[in-house]
A and B are shown apart, each in its own frame.
Chain A
Amino acid sequence: MIAELGLAALWLAGALSVLQLFAGVLAVRGHEDMAALVRPAAVVQGVLASISFLTLLYLFAITDLSVKLVATHSHSAKPLIFKLSGAWGNHEGSMLLWVTVMALAGGLIALIERRLSEKTMLATLAAQAFVGIGFYAFILLSSNPFERLPMPAAEGQGLNPLLQDIGLAFHPPTLYFGYVGLSVAFSFAVGALLTRSVTPDFARAMRPWILGAWIFLTLGITAGSYWAYYELGWGGWWFWDPVENASLMPWLAATALLHSVSVLASRDALRTWTIMLGVVAFSMSMLGTFLVRSGVLTSVHAFAVDPERGTFILILLGIYIGGALTLFGLRANSISEGERFKVTSREGALVFNNVMLSAILGIVLLGTLYPLLTEAFDVRVSVGPPYFNPVGAIFTVPMLLVMAVGPLLRWRQDKLSRIQMPLAVIFAIMIAVLGLVVVLGSYSLLADLGLAIAVGLAVASFLPLRGRNLLRVPLATWGMVIAHFGLAVALFGMASESAFTKERLAAISAGQSTEVGPWQVTLEGVQPVAGPNWTALEGQLSASYEGGEPIMLNPQARNFWAPPQETSESVLATRWNGQLYAVIGNEAGQGRWQLRLWWKPFVTFIWYGGLLVALGGLLALIGRVATDLKRRRVMRRKELHQEEAVA
């Protein structure tokens, strides 16, 4: 019964999205009696979709083995948290989560959004419903999560052990909040195109959604990178894997959008460009979903080949993106011109950042799709770091340099001579660091440049606060400062890791030692251990940093029995200045064991930086929302005064 309830709620929600679309379109075209239907439809749709998703969570929680999805992706012996995360750790469940978040977002807009003109609002909700319908159809017609088995299974097949990880359990939802947040930005852009009202008010309404999506994408990418780093046991933190690129591309577009929408909100410039980016950003999340779900690309991450689903998403992609771009082409000319500005100005710097981000996006997109293109001509190609790193850097480096000075410039027009001093200081710092790194003996051009720019940017990011009363600086400005500083921190971690990492591969028996960087590591022994649904061989390592007090490390080689699979649990010894990373391998004969060790200086800064960037976004979001609420209160008070005056 429960499963059928969930399915029924989902059908109803889908039906409501159809109603929302038609009522919205009719209302925009002048049938005003239809307008009253739109907001309630959006709200009820959000509630119904949530009920459907909660039903699925419940089915997973009680391990209802008569439901196919539960039987194929869960197991009664699994810890509860992984039973729940199993609900979205698969195709059907994750699509349901996607559509639920989207419906909730639509409901939320309908409930709280008051800044937009009523017409743009209705058009936005209609666009949101239009996108939603495709996903409802996708789930209901080709990937029903509530499908029953003819006979209940005796036991579930379990969840892939690699996914039984607390970090990964929350990784997909985080990314989905980001993707779906961009769908809202897309709907806003389409809504504004339909009613031809691209105004600063529109930008202010759209901005919190972009900020929210961007925060989640940042967190998702950071978490995904850390997961790949410690769970795969390869010691790398970014692989330029198509699945990773699938989340990076929307982030790049969202970052550009975030900056251009700020220009639109505060200076009323870049109108068409912002709309264009709104369309592109969501296109990138759709494209990412397509690449990940359809299995058209080889990825070290896991995805099965399913042409039917791939085709469905590709068709959706074509309809939404093609439709939006056509609309854009038809309407772009009728959006009137915004304010003008000089090249050396805050706007100028932001435009530069936007162009560079777009170029990087293009490079990642080409590199990701290139294997697909050549395959059409029967040439098999793999594109990896030797392409992405140098080609991407050509645009990243100038972008970072402009990013260091951009926030110091004034809106509209400014002179470089006004910021001579800070420019000289930043430049001197970069040169000094570059010299120091070369003296320390690193010869990797990209890594050395990265370190120099990171330190310069870290200092530069605080310059906008110079000479201001720190208590009076708006939260949004703090957000920018912290986000920029976070990027510098992450860059420092990346560059340092690639310039100074030491690696050791050894086969040693108990009692023997080996060295990696400043660490001395001794294998004390290897013993069997057991967990709730696995057994493992556990290495006992004692590791000492520069001859100091040794610490114990226990890397494991685990065997799961449902499904049968081996994983290696690496261990990380974290110090402020880096991490020791240890993996135990197979027995190597003559009582020896394989050990793989890395010393990675400052590698943790990569993820601390990512968290700081997200924190910056959060502060900006809180600041913006608070300002909006204040403005709304003031407006209401004014209205009340006027009414009193009239009375």
Chain B
Amino acid sequence: MKAKHQRLVLIVIALVALIGAGLLAAYALRNQASYFYVPSQMAENPPAVGQAVRLGGMVQEGSLKTLEDGITVSFVVGDGDATVPVRFAGILPDLFVEGSGVVAEGSLGADGTFVADNLLAKHDENYVPRELQEMSEHQAREVVAETEESAR
């Protein structure tokens, strides 16, 4: 094989692998990406029961309750227009407080309660999930007021 041919073959193999990776990735992204909802979107056009999605919004003041078993909590997430009740079994993240932003990963149950497997609260005092910026003006201002300096 001539040098030029060898280079060509290598380039073709590399391209095939990379394009393959790209197609595979595109296919996988289309099929499994979990979508992000704010409460008003969830009220208007709810995801299928059991479908993995993320719900983001503000934890409503006074809505946080611990159930009998001591490990399940329920609270309400709102965006100013609509609210969604959420249930979560586990230890709450350190920065999870009422009146603060949260992103819950989980799925919508048949009874309209969002069952969260995982809660992403603010990671520190400066961090606001970017997805929450789509909320109403008033809340957006609240959130922005909390965002000042980067922490790292």
Question: Do residues A355 and B14 form an inter-chain contact, with CB atoms below 8 A?
Answer: yes
Which stretch from B25-33, B79-87, B106-114 is at the chain A interface? B25-33
- A300 and B35 CA atoms in complex are apart in Å by 17
Question: Do residues B149 and A90 form an inter-chain contact, with CB atoms below 8 A?
Answer: yes
Q: A384-B34, A505-B71, A594-B91 are in contact. Are A362 and B130 (CB under 8 A)?
A: no
For A163, the chain B residues whose CB sits under 8 A away are 151-152
- A384 and B29 CA atoms in complex are apart in Å by 10
A340 at the interface (CB under 8 A from B): yes
- Secondary structure type dominating chain A contacts: mixed
- A163 and B126 CA atoms in complex are apart in Å by 13
Question: Do residues A358 and B14 form an inter-chain contact, with CB atoms below 8 A?
Answer: yes
Question: Do residues A381 and B123 form an inter-chain contact, with CB atoms below 8 A?
Answer: no
For A382, the chain B residues whose CB sits under 8 A away are 33-36, 54
Question: Do residues A594 and B94 form an inter-chain contact, with CB atoms below 8 A?
Answer: no
A469 at the interface (CB under 8 A from B): no
Question: Do residues B70 and A590 form an inter-chain contact, with CB atoms below 8 A?
Answer: yes
Q: How far is the CB of A289 from chain B (nearest CB, A)?
A: 12
Question: Do residues B3 and A337 form an inter-chain contact, with CB atoms below 8 A?
Answer: yes
Size bin of chain B's contact surface? 35 or more
Question: Do residues B151 and A302 form an inter-chain contact, with CB atoms below 8 A?
Answer: yes
CB 8 Å contact bits of B7-49 with A (1 = contact, 0 = none): 1001001100110111011101100111110000000000000
Count of A-B contacts judged by CB separation below 8 Å:
173
Question: Do residues B151 and A297 form an inter-chain contact, with CB atoms below 8 A?
Answer: no
- Closest B residue to A508 by CB, please name it: B70
For B150, the chain A residues whose CB sits under 8 A away are 90-91, 293, 295, 302-304, 306
B120 at the interface (CB under 8 A from A): yes
8 Å CB contacts to A: which residues of B129-152?
Answer: 129-131, 133-134, 147-152
A428 at the interface (CB under 8 A from B): no
- A560 and B28 CA atoms in complex are apart in Å by 43
Q: How far is the CB of B67 from chain A (nearest CB, A)?
A: 9
Question: Do residues B54 and A160 form an inter-chain contact, with CB atoms below 8 A?
Answer: no
- Closest B residue to A243 by CB, please name it: B152
For A355, the chain B residues whose CB sits under 8 A away are 13-14, 17-18
For B7, the chain A residues whose CB sits under 8 A away are 337
A567 at the interface (CB under 8 A from B): yes
A30 at the interface (CB under 8 A from B): no
Q: Which 3 A-B pairs have the closest CB atoms?
A: A507-B70, A588-B70, A585-B91
What residues of chain A have their CB less than 8 Å away from a CB belonging to chain B? 72-73, 89-91, 94, 160, 162-163, 172, 233, 273, 292-293, 295-306, 337, 340-341, 351, 355-356, 358-360, 362-363, 366-367, 370, 374, 379-384, 386-387, 390-391, 394-395, 505-507, 563, 565-568, 583, 585-586, 588-590, 592, 594, 596
Q: 18 pairs across A/B with beta carbons < 8 Å?
A: A89-B151, A163-B152, A273-B10, A300-B123, A303-B150, A304-B127, A304-B149, A355-B18, A356-B17, A366-B25, A370-B29, A370-B33, A380-B131, A381-B34, A506-B71, A567-B94, A585-B91, A586-B66
Sample of 18 more A-B contacts, CB < 8 Å, known A370-B29, A586-B66:
A73-B149, A89-B152, A90-B151, A298-B103, A302-B124, A302-B126, A304-B127, A305-B128, A359-B18, A359-B20, A380-B36, A382-B33, A382-B36, A506-B71, A507-B69, A567-B94, A585-B71, A588-B70
